Structure 1
């Protein structure tokens, strides 16, 4: 039975995975405090994934200004994530989804049935998925699109608070 893909408007499923520092990350520990930019990527240290991670790194302060945390997920090991983080000075969490359980939980598609897909989810403070961006070939657009969506979410929330 195929898992149903998470769509805009769905409540993001909670999950727990090991971080690159060996500790545990739980999605719902952030919900209520921050928006979450959850991005699934194929593999540490490959050209597209490195480009994407470095762009998230370069824009990380902007994400924080938007009240968002960036979290990367692949099926690489904790050790692989540690090397990736150190090599590129990544300031955000990388989670190890060894058996691809969380990838399945979110319904992230595989490319050509083999390669793990590249999908970014923008989850608001209430835990609702506000945007899904799926593109294997445009790793940098995941970052710029995520910033645009967060900007939109933040300006709407400000509008409601002042209205």
Structure 2
């Protein structure tokens, strides 16, 4: 199995189905998200084990609450987990999540990022990519019972700006 990409390495490319709830009318826009389309600005990839689980809910709700802080630093946030789009839509609606949730149902992307755990899913992980798609910071949890707070992530994003 591959190891997580090191800082400075290009992030493994991917295309995944995802959805984003509209802030205005709550409609779910479903489309494919391609990593290469995010180039030009920083991207925070949030790999989380499961929709509507305690720690994942707390993590993604906190990132939604702080989304303006990410946007002020020019960054977007994408959440990725093994559940399908129907699960993601129910989760996003229930908690009013305001960034795209991508479905890595076969865990191919988790494997490419070296965070898949056979029989268990994936390790809770965050990768911050720069405008060129290179990994600039990462955190791969061993147990996944806690998560990286927005303060940590926004500090890393601010450091990208120099």
TM-score of the superposed pair, with normalisation by structure 2: 0.88
RMSD between superposed Cα atoms in Å: 1.4
Distance in 2 of aligned mates of 1:49 and 1:64: 21
Q: 2:145 aligns with which of 123, 137, 159?
A: 137
Deviation (angstroms), 1:126: 1.1
Q: 1:142 to 1:102 in 2, by over 3 A?
A: farther
Residue 48 of structure 1 is aligned with which of 27, 43, 55?
A: 55
> What is the Cα deviation at residue 113 of structure 1?
5.9
Given that 2:64 and 2:99 are in contact with CA atoms closer than 8 Å, whether structure 1 keeps it comes out as yes
Higher helix content, 1 or 2: 1
Which of 73, 81, 104 pairs up with 2:88?
81
8 A Cα contact 1:133 1:142, kept in partner: no
Unaligned runs of 5+ residues in structure 1 are 157-163
Report how many aligned residue pairs link the two structures: 151
When normalised by structure 1's length, the TM-score is 0.87
Residue 109 (structure 1) shift: 4.5
Runs of at least 5 residues in structure 2 that lack an aligned partner in the other structure? 20-28
Aligned residues of 1:120 and 1:142 also touching (Cα < 8 A): no
Residue from 105, 130, 151 that aligns with 2:112: 105
